[in-house]
């Protein structure tokens, strides 16, 4: 009798399309059985742990049309399989949309940024360890949230928007794109959908099994950033247990127009406090037309955390989030 080693990867078909049409046809025909593969940083962990079992992988990194940064009539377009390192170092992004360059440049480690893609960072699944271990929680189709239980370990989980599941969005680039009012280009054999970054991510009240609006057969192929916030005053800060490799405990992204010390306009979003990047609309409304001051920052921070519902072990996120908002206002 021959024993089967748990360390042996399961058999999976690999497709490596070199053009858009072929990739979209494969995504359409394979449906849920096809796993979209970019840098693979998240993929192989799922496969090794046997918590995902796709029949095939569709590698997207050979499709040149979905790579690179280009100027458009009203902004820029970034291919979804452009690496995080390219985004962090690109002169056009650095000079006009430095918020995204900074967010991309702080993801994980240099080695991961060299192969990790923008799309991969945006659509990666939540990092909740109960879910990742393959336990039958709500997000995995079960009927319990282990993190939101009397014994649950929930230090890194949500303050807002929980509906059965209290996991958070782990992306660093997502809050930056929400703050920049970006648009996601989603492609399929049926054509394209243009979706505001803020609407691209979904919480568990709407869809507890998925974190984005992507349907079977759809691929995130590009991100468009309008000139609306080009050359604005940006603020990005990420707080994590370690300076490299770690996911955020809380992060903040802010784009602000300031004239003579008066805040003319602002967009602000926080990550790792909700299942989606949390747009701070009430804070934005407070700040518009106001003169920058320490007191205004404190007011904004207090307003940002109104309605927070901390869990057993993540109460520290409330003052942390408030302080990050205050720092963003102060600049």
d(CA 117, CA 216): 20
Q: What is the pLDDT of residues 31-40, one digit of tens each?
A: 999 999 999 9
User: Residue range 182-204: average pLDDT?
Assistant: 98
What ranges do the domains of the chain cover? 14-330
Q: What is the pLDDT of residues 311-321, one digit of tens each?
A: 999 999 999 99
| DSSP codes joined into one string, 20-55 | HHHHHHHHHHHGGGEEEESS-TTHHHHHHTTS---S
Radius of gyration of the CA atoms of the chain, in A? 20
> Which residue in this structure is represented by tokens 């000079």?
95
Confidence grade of residue 51 (pLDDT, cut at 50, 70, 90): confident
Contact at 8 Å (CB) between 16 and 98?
Answer: no
Q: What is the pLDDT of residues 229-286, one digit of tens each?
A: 999 999 999 999 998 889 999 999 999 999 999 999 999 999 999 999 999 999 999 9
Q: What is the pLDDT of residues 134-188, one digit of tens each?
A: 899 999 999 999 999 999 999 999 999 999 999 999 999 999 999 999 999 999 9
% the chain with pLDDT above 90: 90
Cα dihedral sign, 208-200-86-22: positive
pLDDT score for 207:
97
| Average per-residue pLDDT for the chain | 95
Confidence grade of residue 1 (pLDDT, cut at 50, 70, 90): very low
pLDDT score for 53:
85
User: Residue range 184-200: average pLDDT?
Assistant: 98
Confidence grade of residue 4 (pLDDT, cut at 50, 70, 90): very low
Confidence grade of residue 8 (pLDDT, cut at 50, 70, 90): low
User: Could you tell me which of 202, 224, 205, 221 has the C-alpha nearest to residue 213?
Assistant: 202
% the chain with pLDDT above 70: 97
d(CA 296, CA 110): 37
User: Residue range 194-217: average pLDDT?
Assistant: 97
Contact at 8 Å (CB) between 35 and 78?
Answer: no
More confident residue, 309 or 45: 309
- CATH match for 14-330 among 3.10.20.30, 3.40.50.11540, 3.30.465.10, 3.30.70.1520: 3.30.465.10
């Amino acid at each position: 009798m021959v024993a089967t080693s748990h360390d042996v990867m399961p058999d999976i078909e690999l497709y490596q399309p070199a053009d858009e049409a072929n990739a979209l046809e494969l995504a359409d025909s394979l449906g849920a059985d096809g796993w979209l593969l970019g840098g693979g940083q998240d993929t192989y962990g799922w496969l090794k742990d046997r918590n995902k079992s796709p029949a095939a992988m569709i590698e997207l990194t050979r499709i040149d049309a979905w790579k690179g940064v280009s100027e458009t009539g009203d902004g820029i377009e970034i291919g979804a399989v452009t690496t995080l390192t390219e985004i962090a170092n690109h002169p056009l992004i650095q000079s006009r949309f430095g918020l995204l360059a900074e967010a991309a440049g702080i993801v994980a480690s240099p080695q991961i940024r060299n192969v990790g893609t923008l799309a991969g960072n945006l659509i990666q699944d939540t990092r909740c360890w109960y879910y990742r271990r393959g336990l039958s929680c709500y997000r995995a189709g079960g009927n319990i949230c282990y993190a939101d239980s009397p014994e649950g370990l929930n230090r890194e989980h949500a303050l807002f928007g929980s509906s059965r599941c209290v996991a958070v969005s782990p992306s660093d680039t997502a809050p930056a794109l929400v703050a920049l009012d970006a648009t996601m280009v989603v492609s399929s054999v049926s054509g394209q959908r243009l979706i505001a970054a803020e609407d691209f991510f979904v919480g568990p009240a709407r869809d507890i099994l998925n974190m984005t609006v992507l349907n079977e057969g759809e691929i995130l192929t590009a991100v468009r950033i309008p000139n609306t916030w080009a050359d604005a005053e940006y603020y990005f800060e990420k707080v994590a247990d370690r300076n490299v490799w770690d996911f955020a405990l809380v992060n903040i992204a802010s784009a602000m127009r300031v004239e003579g010390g008066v805040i003319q306009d602002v967009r602000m979003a926080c990550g790792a406090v909700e299942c989606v990047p949390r747009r701070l609309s009430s804070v934005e409304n407070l700040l518009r037309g106001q003169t920058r001051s320490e007191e205004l920052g404190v007011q904004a921070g207090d307003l940002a955390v109104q309605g927070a519902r901390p869990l057993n072990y993540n109460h520290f996120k409330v003052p942390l989030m408030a302080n990050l908002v205050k720092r963003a206002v102060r600049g």
